Amino acid sequence: MSNSYRVAILGATGAVGTELLELLENRDFPVAELKLLASPRSAGSFLPFKGENLQVEAVGDRSFDNVDIVLASAGGSISKVWAPKAVEAGAVVIDNSSAFRLDPQVPLVVPEVNPEAAATHQGIIANPNCTTILMAVAIWPLHQFQPIQRLVVATYQSASGAGARAMEEVKTQTQAILQGETPVAEVFPYPLAFNLFPHNSPLNDQGYCEEEMKMVKETRKIFNAADLRVTATCVRVPVLRAHSEAINIEFAEPMPVAKAREILADAPGVKLVEDWQANYFPMPIDATGRDEVLVGRIRQDISHPCGLELWLSGDQIRKGAALNAVQIAELLVGKNQQSVVRESAILAQVER
Rg of the chain on CA atoms, in Å: 20
CA distance 86 to 92: 7
Count Cβ atoms below 10 Å from residue 104 Cβ, excluding itself.
Answer: 6
Distances (CA, A) of 269 to 44, 200, 262, 294: 37, 29, 14, 9
Q: Say which of 121, 143, 199, 243 is annotated catalytic.
A: 243
Residue 43 backbone dihedrals phi, psi, to 5 degrees: -60, 140
> Beta-strand (E) ranges in the chain?
5-10, 31-38, 46-49, 52-58, 69-72, 92-95, 124-126, 148-157, 197-198, 229-236, 243-251, 270-272, 293-300, 307-314
Burial class (CB in 10 A: 0-12, 13-18, 19+), 85: middle
Contact 80, 74 (CB under 8 A): no
Count the alpha carbons within 13 Å of 157 in the hemisphere toward its beta carbon.
30
Question: Would residue 243 show up in a list of annotated catalytic residues for this protein?
Answer: yes
Count Cβ atoms below 10 Å from residue 302 Cβ, excluding itself.
Answer: 8
CA distance 63 to 275: 51
CA distance 177 to 209: 29
DSSP secondary structure letter of residue 127: P
* Sequence letter at residue 311: W
Question: Would residue 130 show up in a list of annotated catalytic residues for this protein?
Answer: yes
CA 213 to chain centre: 15
To the nearest 10°, report the CA torsion of 137, 140, 141, 143. Answer: 160
Q: Say which of 130, 143, 199, 234 is annotated catalytic.
A: 130
Instruction: Kindly give, in sequence order, each residue whose CB lies less than 8 Å from that of residue 211, ignoring residues fewer than 6 positions away.
Output: 129, 131, 155, 157, 199, 201, 232, 234
**In DSSP terms, which residues pair with 247 in a beta bridge?**
153, 310
Active site residues: 130, 243
